[in-house]
Amino acid sequence: MKLSDLFGADTNFDPPAQAVEVSGLAVDSRAVKPGDLFFALAGAKTDGARFIEAAVAAGAIAIAGDRPPIGGCRVPFVTVANPRRALALAAARMFPQQPATIAAVTGTSGKTSVAAFTRQIWQRLGFSAASIGTIGLVSEKRTVYGSLTTPDPIALHREIDEITRDGVTHLAFEASSHGLDQFRLDGVRVNAGAFTNLSRDHMDYHPDIAHYLNAKLRLFCDLVVDGGAAVISADHECSPDVIAAARQRKLVTMTVGHDGDGEGEGIRVAASAIDGFAQRIELEHRGRRCQVRLPLVGEFQIENAVVAAGLAIATGSPPEDVFAALEALEGAKGRLERVGEFNGAPIFVDYAHKPDALTKALQALRPYTQRKLVVVFGAGGDRDTGKRPLMGAIAADNADEVIVTDDNPRSENPAAIRAAILASAPGAREIGDRTEAIRQAIAGLAKGDVLLIAGKGHETGQIIGDRVLPFSDHEAVASALAAESRH
């Protein structure tokens, strides 16, 4: 592809540079291949401009950035005002194939579940559908587990192009605040955007909640196509801000939840009741009511399910078929997932690693607890330190037995992280080794108890220092249960 074809018409090139043939894109000088266009991005820890010479030496045929290097550049240099956005748009041009129907979901909690549920609804209605997010790529032809909620623009657009060539027509993906703020999603033709909720998270990145919310709002202000749809959970304090942003863009706006517009295009949750490890819900849409048995645990899963239903309806699926499909939903991996039982006590694994999510998970399991609600959790290192005492207090307030262990300590001292949690969790036990913490929690279960193992969910590694060691809560539970069965 010609260099000039990767940028907008307002980008200035020296005439000889316009016809330079580019074979790939790169943001890491160590990954540059001959013929690549290298984007010199300024990051939090380093500036990509420092690596221009290394990229050229590796074969970069051109460089893009916000300022040319002092002393000039040995290959064509493209000056762009916003290099991150220019990268995403160039990736969209390099990998142009996209499914006809694309939905994106943002919010603090629920993104993974909503994306997975939307994919499942579409699949049940006969579409070839995929989802991309925290657990990776899931489609009928391939499943590739990943670790980033929103991949970098090159990987994202390449993946979208590949699944479209596979025949995928419907895509649901997660839009993280980092991804939105860093323009990783620009260039994706989003037909419908969804908002779940907003609570404290990523305060190591965002200076305050207002900045965090504004990053989320980019989905509706900038990315959903003109005339597209917005599906917004109406049950939260900041919901009016999101609704206002969507309406200002003149997007077709559907409000869902207990405060949803059941008389119009939205979905209102009129009633709900626990039914074993499922829930019976009454939904109102366009003035009509229907009963649905949702095979999921937790009030928050009702919100996730109706947001997903809203996305399916907003992108053209018949409401009656969508609501029927809710009865066959399967929870996303590591999202309040029932992974075993010991002495008649169910064991759940959940990704809850932030205060609001931990509260919701514990409250969801309280109705199933006749004796003790037990929680095993920790907190990640090199992340928002302020949430640690909050989570300790939440565990102490909502569980009967608390075991504080390690999550992903990264470069921090694990004992210091645990101490910050324990300071606000009186009576909690400290067992640093996560495998041992899970083993002891399971060994102490009796009939009437419920165990929640929170924080890592679907993850298959534990980050200690600069290493990722193999670790899975699922496997730790299986091993503990196998050991108990031999006793």
Which residues neighbour 300 within 8 Å (Cβ) at sequence distance 6 or greater? 109, 110, 360, 364
**Count of Cβ atoms closer than 10 Å to residue 379 Cβ:** 29
| Alpha helix stretches (DSSP H) within 276-413 | 299-314, 319-325, 355-365, 387-398
CB-based contacts of 475, cutoff 8 Å, min separation 6: none
Fill in the DSSP letter of residue 58: T
Domain residue extents for the chain: 3-83, 95-328, 337-486
Helix or strand or coil: residue 381?
A: coil
Distance from C-alpha of 194 to C-alpha of 197, rounded to nearest angstrom: 10
CB-count exposure of residue 307 (10 Å: 0-12, 13-18, 19+): buried
Crossing angle between the packed helical segments 387-398 and 355-365, to the nearest 10 degrees: 10
CATH class of 337-486: alpha beta
Residue among 401, 481, 402 at smallest CA distance from 439:
481
Kind and range of the H or E run holding 238? none
Nearest to 361 by CA among 304, 409, 441: 304
294 close to 325: Cβ distance less than 8 angstroms:
no
Res 477: pLDDT: 98
Other beta carbons within 10 Å of 341: 13
Q: What pLDDT shows up at residue 53?
A: 94
The pLDDT of residue 407: 97
Closest to 435 measured CA to CA, from 413, 464, 411: 464
For β-strands 24-26 and 36-39, DSSP reports them as parallel
Could you tell me which of 199, 257, 191 has the C-alpha nearest to residue 226? 191
DSSP letter at 4 equals G
Enter the tokens of residue 63: 């460089």
Q: How far is CA 19 from CA 6, 14, 22, 26, 123, in A?
A: 11, 10, 9, 19, 43
User: Is domain 3-83 in CATH 3.40.1390.10, yes or no?
Assistant: yes
Residue-level pLDDT at 210: 82
3-state SS class at 232:
strand
Which pLDDT belongs to residue 203? 54
pLDDT reported for residue 17:
85
Q: Collect the ranges in the chain with pLDDT lower than 50.
A: none
Q: State the pLDDT at residue 146.
A: 62
User: What torsion, rounded to 10 degrees, do the Cα atoms 94, 95, 97, 102 define?
Assistant: -110
CATH 3.40.1190.10 given to domain 95-328: yes
Q: Indicate the SS3 state at residue 273.
A: strand
